[in-house]
Structure 1
């Protein structure tokens, strides 16, 4: 009788344990369902992708069920619509997934395939999107082949403009100047021997100063740009310096309120400043190692030279 009673207790404990485990799993599940305010995440796919590449990108962006996302295609026509002077016959490979939220955590950008996005960094995307007016979104970027990454930005713009809510749509003047910003950023990195991080820090800190000083004229913008170039010890060609001044003067004319994203700009700038200091420290360390061994080899060379003499 006791043996039978023990078996019943054991069986009940197992059943209760399984039931509680299911409850815990349900309570801790990451599947939050579809956000009823913003709808499904939007996945923007470059029109040049083949069927197999499209499937690869969907997998990279974590799309297991296409019914759980809204998919749209970004085309060459979209490229010329959002970025002046571009070629509508351009190949569009870089793609993005946009998940909007009310987290208050601002914009978070992750490049899922950093080896294939060759010119634009996650921080460059973030900086341009702050200019465009994007708020509170998790954005993932991917490409199956090596590309510059510019078409992903166009796709993000199209995702917002495709929203059924007029409140989600971006100001076209701001998206144009944000695209111009991205072009200037990649040009500076390419032409002036600057790292992507240096360029992004420069742009972020200029925006912070615009928020602080509220420049009223192009001359004010020019002074801010020159002061930042000096404080960050960055040398630009005359033509690229003028590109920078013209870019931020366009932002001034649009009266973009960078004060509303000042904390994000500050965090971005601080992160990059720390990163650049670490890089400089590492370079200094390895240079000292190289100098040390250089002196040893020089001494050895001198020693054998004296023997030969």
Structure 2
């Protein structure tokens, strides 16, 4: 899919979320479904995404908490990513988040509908934001690129803990998703290869504690040569800027995680709930 069509595809912005009541009891099933308001208003669309969730997640949807994502909520995020504004008839995509499965973070993407962002891309960006547990299922009744899903997840973690994720952390994670999408759009490199490249380069930069732009550019260039990946100099620069932004946000990320830990230690939640919520954050 080329840039000439991305404007059409992105009309189906994804915004997904997680709502975990602090101090939920064992009787509460921590499964959340978020529906785009257009999908929720159309019975056929809603049945389509529900069928995907039933087949993939193996949970009782009747017991799931649900939330409707509106155009106004999407626009608050899309303005910082694409600069576009969407109407109430353009919010299609949906997600199910199962936090019963909280040993590891997993993302299952409906590849027949989500055309650019892969599960590995979401995983990488979510980990950059300090989130490491739960199983996220992403789908849409029509095709969508998927750049905006990460923002909705992070917004709902804020609601769950009443701790705001620093803007530097949110911006860096959102930028990571969007940069990967751009590289896929601009090159003949597969989404999987782009995802692995970004993950490997981030790990190298983190291990070497690199924060300066020229060195990150060199690391990326070396990686592309060794792995025979052909991307433009412009995309190399964008990726270097993105990874530099992630590195520079580490201090804010650590402060955020400390505040979340304080909230969990002082909440009236049961011991089992505390342990469950502790597992959501690095």
Same fold (TM over 0.5): yes
Per the TM alignment, residue 241 of structure 1 is displaced from its structure 2 partner at its CA by: 1.3
CA distance in 1, matches of 2:132, 2:93: 21
1:147 and 2:144 matched: yes
1:60 and 2:52 matched: yes
Aligned length: 220
Q: Is the 8 A contact 1:46 1:151 kept in 2?
A: no
Q: Is the 8 A contact 2:74 2:86 kept in 1?
A: no
CA distance in 2, matches of 1:173, 1:183: 15
Which residue pairs with 1:94 in the alignment?
Answer: 93
207-216 vs 224-233, greater mean Cα deviation: 224-233
Q: Is the 8 A contact 1:46 1:93 kept in 2?
A: yes
When the two chains are superposed, the root-mean-square deviation of aligned CA atoms in Å is 2.7
User: Residue 210 and residue 102 in structure 1: after superposition, are their counterparts in 2 closer, same or farther (change >3 A)?
Assistant: farther
Which residue pairs with 1:253 in the alignment?
Answer: 248
Query: Larger relative contact order (C-alpha < 8 A, sep ≥ 6)?
Result: 2
Alignment partner for residue 51 of structure 1, among 42, 56, 60?
42
CA distance in 1, matches of 2:37, 2:142: 14
1:245-301 Cα shifts (integer Å, max 9, x gaps): 11111112212779xxxxxxxxxxxxxxxxxxxxxxxxxxxxxxxxxxxxxxxxxxx
1:154-181 Cα shifts (integer Å, max 9, x gaps): 3323332332x236x5443322222211
Per the TM alignment, residue 194 of structure 1 is displaced from its structure 2 partner at its CA by: 0.5
TM-score by length of 1: 0.63
CA distance in 2, matches of 1:244, 1:73: 33
Per the TM alignment, residue 126 of structure 1 is displaced from its structure 2 partner at its CA by: 1.4
Higher helix fraction (1 or 2): 1
Alignment partner for residue 128 of structure 2, among 128, 131, 137?
131
TM-score by length of 2: 0.69
1:18-64 Cα shifts (integer Å, max 9, x gaps): xxxxxxxxxxxxxxxx8749862121111221331224323422364
Q: Is the 8 A contact 2:31 2:96 kept in 1?
A: yes
Larger radius of gyration: 1
Structure 2 unaligned segments of length 5 or more: list them.
1-23, 255-282
Which residue pairs with 1:41 in the alignment?
Answer: 31
Per the TM alignment, residue 223 of structure 1 is displaced from its structure 2 partner at its CA by: 2.6
User: Residue 51 and residue 247 in structure 1: after superposition, are their counterparts in 2 closer, same or farther (change >3 A)?
Assistant: same
